[in-house]
Amino acid sequence: MIARNTSLDIVYEKTNITEDLRPHLKGWTYTDNLSGQSDDLQITLEDRDHLWMGDWYPEHGAKLTATMKRTNWTVEQTKKDFSLGVFEIDEIENSYPPSEVTIKALSVFQTTALKGEMKNRAWEKTKLSVIANDIASDAGMKLYYDVSDDPEYDRKEQTEEQDLSFLQKLCTEAGLALKVSDSQIVIFDEAKYEQADPVMTIDFKTFPIKKFRGRGTIDDTYSSVWITYRSPKGRVKMNYTYTPPNPPAVGRVLVIRERFDSLSEAERKAKKALRDKNSKAWNVSLTILEDIQICASQNITLKNFGKYDGKWIATQVTHGQSNSGDEVSLQLRRCLEGY
């Protein structure tokens, strides 16, 4: 049987340098994050001749286009080339001994308006999608807004703040996820993604598992949420309580005092706040000695893991290759029901 293989195809600016790198390649990793962090690509090369300390030293800010190439996979396994997108070289580290260089590149470009530039501006009578689209357009990027609701604002001010950190703050307040990848800003609802069917099952008895670490906690978790609002003059008081299916058995109630104008808005805010707390209750780290086709934001089923059996969402996926072969490391969070 011919061994399956995963390799990395690299284009530096507009030049394919895959074959030039191949004799020197020691290993690489690609980390795909669900939200709040840049995706990153790291390539480690041997440098006995000190090429990458001299004429071959890459330019900071240069663009790398990366593709995972899969060979000797059967049609039934539906393995295809997987585009990782475009990255900007952020850091170059030369070291000795041994003589090697590590090139680190990020999906969020330092050279765009998203980072590094402090801005002051304001929006009146607007929506989150409008603000996000303005920020994406300024950075020469596209916006993919995959959310059923669109928070509205009477006024929002950006004061001496970078575009990306400002937009991340708005998304966090709205209980939404933000990702920047392949010249695109993506805003989505994690709760919606957790409702999707699992893309695969990982069985402890049959998968080549190198490492496993599971953690369950009741710290800072809540069995229900209560949101209340009283108008400044005390004339209007509104309350809303929500208890999810299968809540943590802690008996604690999360209390939120925040303005809302309707029960539907109260429900949305309450569920988002409770989800933010309870999503940290169950976590799994898993390293598999095999390339598997999975991305952050996709769901998997764990089987024969005891208390950890069930449906989980991938919050971080790291594909890597070294002299020991292919590895995939997963950070997982248990999917929540009803909120």
Q: What is the pLDDT along the chain (339 residues), one digit of tens a residue?
A: 455 678 899 999 999 999 999 999 999 999 999 998 889 999 999 999 999 999 999 999 999 999 998 776 554 444 578 889 999 999 999 999 999 999 999 998 887 778 878 999 999 999 999 999 999 999 889 999 999 889 889 899 999 999 999 999 999 888 899 999 878 999 999 999 999 999 999 999 999 999 999 999 999 999 999 999 876 665 778 899 999 988 888 989 999 988 887 888 888 889 999 999 999 999 999 999 988 889 999 999 999 999 999 999 999 999 998 777 789 999 999 999 888
- Co-location of 30 and 53 in the same domain: yes
- Predicted pLDDT of residue 7: 85
- Specify if 48 maps to a domain: yes
Is residue 28 a part of any domain in this protein?
yes
317 in the same domain as 203: yes
Number of CB atoms found within 10 A of residue 195's CB: 12
Residue 181 lies in a domain: yes
Give yes or no: residues 11 and 101 share one domain: yes
* Residue finishing a domain among 106, 127, 160: 106
Give CA 183 to chain center in angstroms.
15
* Adjacency order of strands within the sheet including 142-146: 142-146, 184-188, 177-181
Do the domain assignments include residue 112? no
- For residues 40 and 70, membership in a common domain is answered with yes
Q: Is residue 218 part of a domain?
A: no
**pLDDT tens across 228-282, in order?**
987 666 577 889 999 998 888 898 999 998 888 788 888 888 999 999 999 999 9
The answer to whether residues 229 and 101 belong to one domain is: no
Instruction: Give the domain-ending residue among 57, 81, 106.
Output: 106
Specify if 111 maps to a domain.
no
Please, are residues 76 and 297 in contact by the beta-carbon 8 Å criterion?
Answer: no
Structure token digits, residue 286:
């898993």
Instruction: Give SS3 for 18.
Output: helix
The verdict on 80 and 19 lying in the same domain is yes
> What is each CA distance from 197 to 68, 142, 203, 335, in whole angstroms?
25, 27, 17, 11
Are residues 92 and 139 located together in one domain of the fold? no
Q: Are residues 202 and 309 in the same domain?
A: yes
Helices (H) and strands (E) in the chain, counts: 5, 21
Rounded distance between C-alpha atoms, residue 16 and residue 177, angstroms: 34
Per-residue pLDDT, 77:
47
Residue 18 and residue 96 in one domain? yes
- DSSP codes of every residue in 33-84: ESSSS--EEEEEEE-TT-GGGTTTPPPTT-EEEEEEEEES--GGGT---EEE
Q: What is the DSSP letter of 310?
A: E
- The answer to whether the Cα torsion of 332, 83, 141, 103 is positive or negative is positive
In a domain, residue 193? The reply is: no
Range of the structural domain that residue 69 is part of: 5-106
Residue 128: which CATH number? Answer: 3.55.50.10
Q: What residues does 30 pair with on adjacent strands? A: 41, 319
DSSP 290: S
Q: 290: domain CATH number? A: 2.40.30.150
Strand partners, 77: none
Both 101 and 181 in one domain: the answer is no
Give domain status of residue 13, yes or no. Answer: yes
Q: Which of 39, 73, 106 is the last residue of a domain?
A: 106
Q: How many domains does the chain have?
A: 4
Q: Is 68 exposed, middle or buried (0-12, 13-18, 19+ CB in 10 A)?
A: buried
Do 84 and 144 share a structural domain? no
Let me know whether 47 and 123 are in one domain: no
